[in-house]
Amino acid sequence: MSTETYDIIIIGGGTSDLVLANRLSEDLNLQIVVLESGEDRSADPNTLTPGAWPLLSHSPDNWAFQTVPQEEVPRDIIVPQGKALGGSSAINSFLFTSTSKATIEGWKNLGNQGRDYAAYEKALKKSYTLHKPSGVTEGNGPLQITLASPETLWQKAWIEGLESVGFPRTNPLSGHLGGPNIAPESIDPKTKQRSYAGNAYLDPIRSRLNLTIQTNTNVTKVLLEKSSSASDAVATGVEFISKDGSSQTVKACKEVIICAGAINSPRILELSGIGDADLLQRLGINVVVDNPHVGEISKTIFSQELPLKCAMMLIQLMLFSVKNPMLWLLLCRYMPQMGRAI
C-alpha cells in the first residue's frame, strides 16, 4: 500500500469538485489531489457533440443508480449521475437553468445565513458567459452557454398553449421555473461543442504543478481519528482502490472535501463510520460518529417527456438517429442549432 501526502484531498471530480480544484490551486503553496471514479472524457466525441448525449445514458460514464419501489413510486427509477471528470456536466442534456429560488431560500431558513438566493445568483453569474442569438453576450464566466435562435413554430405553439391555461413564460435563469421557457444550452458557439466543468474549469489549469488529478479511483473510506470518545473526529486521509486494483492511501495535512454527489457522498460517509449507528453496526462498520440523518430523506426531481408525432421527416431523423450514431453526429454538428422548450 503506497501513501502520499497532500494539503487538500477532494473526493470526486464532478462539477463542483473541478471548480474547487481550480480556485484552491490558485494558492501555489497548497498541494491538492482530486480523486475521481470515472475517466477523463475531454476528447470523447460523444461527450462533446451536442445531440450525442443520449449515447451516454447507458455508458460507463453514468452511475445509473436504481431506486427501489416505494409507496409513492411503485417501481424502480434510474437516477443518472456523471461518472467522469466533470461529473453530470459531462453527460447531461446540455440544458442550463438556475435552481429554484424557493429551494435556496429554504436552505437559508434552515440557518444558512448569507446563503440566500441573491448571493447564489451573484455567484452563479460569475460562472458563465451567455451568448444570445443577436451576438450580444452577458457575463464573463468560463462556462459558455448559448441561447438558440428564435423559437420554431412548435416551440411557439408549446409556449402559447401553456400560457393560455395560466402558465406564463419564465426566464430559465431567474429562479422561477413554474412556466414554459426556452433554456440556454451549455454549448460553446465557437467550437460548437459541450462546455462543461472539464474544459471550462480544469483544462485551463492542468499544467499547475500543485494539482494532481487521479481517475479510476474508487474511494473506500475517509480515515478518521478521535483523541477521545467525546472529541470530534478529524479526517486525516483517504483510502481508495486504484485502477490496477491495489489499495492506496493518501494523507491530508489540512482538509478532506467529500463532494461525490448526492448519493455517493453519504455512502462514503457511512463507509467511513459516520451515519446511523444501528445500520453501521449491522453492516460491520466501526461507528465513529452516530448521525441517523446521513443517507436519509434524499429527494430528487422527475423528468417527464412527451412523445409527439411530427410530419417533418428531418426532425424525426434527429429524434431517432440515436440508432445511427454517425447520422446523429452529422446532423447535430452541421445543422443550425435549435433550442428546446421545457
Written as nine digits, the cell of 282 is: 449491522
User: How far, in Å, CA of 97 to CA of 199, rounded?
Assistant: 19
Which of 191, 194, 165, 192 shows the shortest CA–CA distance to 180?
Answer: 165
For 108, list phi and psi in degrees, rounded to 5: -60, -40
SS3 149: coil
User: How far, in Å, CA of 152 to CA of 333, rounded?
Assistant: 19
Check residue 297 and give its pLDDT.
83
Beta bridge partners of 103: none
Q: Are 217 and 37 in contact (CB under 8 A)?
A: yes
Q: Are 136 and 151 in contact (CB under 8 A)?
A: no
State which amino acid sits at residue 342. I
Check residue 336 and give its pLDDT.
43
Check residue 321 and give its pLDDT.
46
The number of helix segments (H) and strand segments (E) in the chain equals: 10, 15
**What does each C-alpha distance from 223 to 30, 287, 311, 336 come to in angstroms?**
20, 12, 60, 52
Q: In 18-64, where do the E strands start and end? A: 32-35
User: How far, in Å, CA of 213 to CA of 216, rounded?
Assistant: 10
Written as nine digits, the cell of 92 is: 447531461
State which amino acid sits at residue 150. P
Q: In 155-195, where do the E strands start and end? A: 187-188, 193-194
pTM, whole model, 2 decimals? Answer: 0.88
Which of 97, 104, 101 shows the shortest CA–CA distance to 172?
Answer: 97
> Helices (DSSP H) in the chain: which residue ranges?
15-24, 45-48, 101-109, 117-125, 153-164, 197, 261-271, 277-282, 313-320, 325-334
- Who's near 323: CB < 8 A, 6+ residues apart? none
User: How far, in Å, CA of 307 to CA of 230, rounded?
Assistant: 58
Predicted confidence (pLDDT) per residue in 139-181, tens digit: 999 999 999 877 778 788 888 999 999 999 999 999 988 888 8
Check residue 332 and give its pLDDT.
54
- Who's near 327: CB < 8 A, 6+ residues apart? 317, 321
Predicted confidence (pLDDT) per residue in 283-334, tens digit: 999 999 999 999 998 877 777 777 766 655 455 445 444 455 555 555 555 4
- Who's near 135: CB < 8 A, 6+ residues apart? none
User: Per-residue b/e over 107-138, b at no fewer than 16 CB within 10 Å?
Assistant: ebeeeeeeeebeebeeebbebbbbbeeeeeee
Q: What is the pLDDT along the chain (342 residues), one digit of tens a residue?
A: 567 999 999 999 999 999 999 999 999 999 999 999 999 999 999 999 988 888 898 899 999 999 889 888 888 888 899 999 999 999 999 999 998 999 999 989 999 888 999 999 999 999 999 999 989 999 999 999 999 877 778 788 888 999 999 999 999 999 988 888 889 999 999 999 999 999 999 999 999 999 999 999 999 999 999 888 778 999 999 999 999 999 999 999 999 999 999 999 999 999 999 999 999 999 999 999 999 999 998 877 777 777 766 655 455 445 444 455 555 555 555 444 555 555
